[in-house]
Amino acid sequence: MAGPTTDIEIMSNAATLLGKRSFATIDDADEFAVSLQKFYDLLVDSELAKNAWKFAKKQISLSLVAGFNPDFAEYSAAYDLPADFLSLVRLFPHVPFQIFGPRIYTGSSGTLKIEYNYRAPVTHWSAPFKEYMVYSLATIVAASVTEDPSLMQMIAQERRSARASAMFVDAQNSPNRAIQSNPWLEVRGRGNTRSGWGQ
């Protein structure tokens, strides 16, 4: 499978897997491709929002909403979330917060940074993740275009394999954290080896 570089190419590859003709633009595509696009947008947004793929994360400083007091619970300030926000990974500093629509409420009006998931372009995706999205899209629509159980089973199996490969590659983008020594726990652990009290 050639490595796709656009959303259209991801969708076209999924269509080809299902025995449909490939296409270069939605305008030139058939009715099936148009419906495929609707599933595709939902699939990608959902996948990138619920799983912390490293190529789809950003860190930014948020803009405080001037003159606005949520006056709700312990929250006294609000910040606008970025337009491409899908889901929150973490915020700095770590303070109590609540997301309401396009804003995040906190109890502090100081500098606030967030790490979040966004709709990264296909050019930022790893090769295995591209393959995973092709097979995921094909899996979603397979039942509506084919009655061949062996084909559906093959696509589902390839999807699982592609997902495992994508997760492995993504994990390589973070260094392994060394196990930190904790003398207190070590002493406590040695104490547990005694056979009884007072020995």
Q: What pLDDT digit, counting tens, does each position of 122-143 carry?
A: 999 999 999 999 999 999 988 8
- Percent of the chain with pLDDT strictly greater than 70: 86
CA distance 196 to 97: 47
Under the banding of pLDDT at 50, 70 and 90, the label for residue 147 is confident
- Percent of the chain with pLDDT strictly greater than 90: 57
Predicted local distance difference test score (pLDDT) of residue 119: 96
Predicted local distance difference test score (pLDDT) of residue 2: 47
Residue 190 reports pLDDT greater than 60: no
Write the pLDDT tens digit of every residue in 10-69: 999 999 998 888 888 887 777 888 888 889 999 999 999 999 899 999 999 999 999 887
1 vs 38, more confident: 38
Residue 146 reports pLDDT greater than 80: no
Residue 96 reports pLDDT greater than 70: yes
What stretches of the chain adopt beta strand conformation (E)? 57-61, 63-64, 77-80, 85-92, 97-100, 103-106, 113-118
Largest Cα–Cα distance of the chain, in whole Å?
Answer: 83
Predicted local distance difference test score (pLDDT) of residue 115: 96
Buried-state track 148-181, b at ≥16 Cβ within 10 A, e below 16: eeebbeebeebbeebbebbeeebeeeeeeeeeee
Predicted local distance difference test score (pLDDT) of residue 177: 56
> Residues 145-166: what's their mean pLDDT?
91
Predicted local distance difference test score (pLDDT) of residue 82: 97
Average pLDDT in the chain = 85
Under the banding of pLDDT at 50, 70 and 90, the label for residue 78 is very high
Residue 187 reports pLDDT greater than 70: no
